[in-house]
Structure 1
Amino acid sequence: MSNPNRTEDKIVLADLAFYGYHGVMQAENDLGQRFRIDLECGVDLSKSGQSDEVEDTISYDQIFNLVNERVTQTRFKLIEALGQHIIDGLFETFTTIEWVKVRVRKPEAPIPVVAGEFAVEMVRDREQA
């Protein structure tokens, strides 16, 4: 992240699970699979920390609803494109978000692995989006 003055405060949503239809292989598009999302949104939380008012922050419920819609209502071949779609929606919807870090995990990728998962992690400042 290029802005040295950016806030270190963040709203974190971790290990969210969704069912979606993303992938290159036809079976992934036909059958779907689980996806896990880890998300950090850089937001100055000083005002809400002092006021204790939800109006002074971004509700994690609103963030969750946006991510849920982005994962379940669209289809992508690449989880990179899904990650960018989530980031774009967060910046478009919540003007106080300064930066976003999203990890899209695909625990059931059609690769013969006994344990583990495959993922991408993307970090964007608002200016980069």
Structure 2
Amino acid sequence: MTITLLSIFRRRAGMSHDEFVDHYEKIHARIGEKVMSGYATRYVRRFTTPFGRADDGAEADVVMEMDFPDKVTMEAFFASLQDPEIAAMIAEDEKRLFDSASMRTYLVDERESELPPVLPPAHPS
């Protein structure tokens, strides 16, 4: 049974959305790939843009998902983060990137609905 963790992060004050995405993808994601290797089976970043309103301090700039094959592997991953070198590397980059007070992580209990096929758009007469 796959275990999914979902984390919601907001960028630090003074950082533009583009700067945030650039740093996350070029630096932070590489750190994530390195430390998750051998533990996680999936690592996805979903960068958000406010829809239908101005970007006035969005609640989240990225929703990050990590999948683990099971609880034992997830726990081993978090135990590996206690290594002082790994912990320092992550903490140092998080200070450059995130509003630490807004960081949240959730264990996901996924439920999916079966929907009918999408209909082709109607053509005006």
Q: What TM bracket, shorter-length normalisation?
A: 0.3 to 0.5
- Higher relative CO (Cα under 8 Å, sequence separation at least 6) belongs to 2
- Give the alignment's TM-score, normalised by structure 2: 0.33
Higher strand fraction (1 or 2): 1
* Bigger-Rg structure (1/2): 2
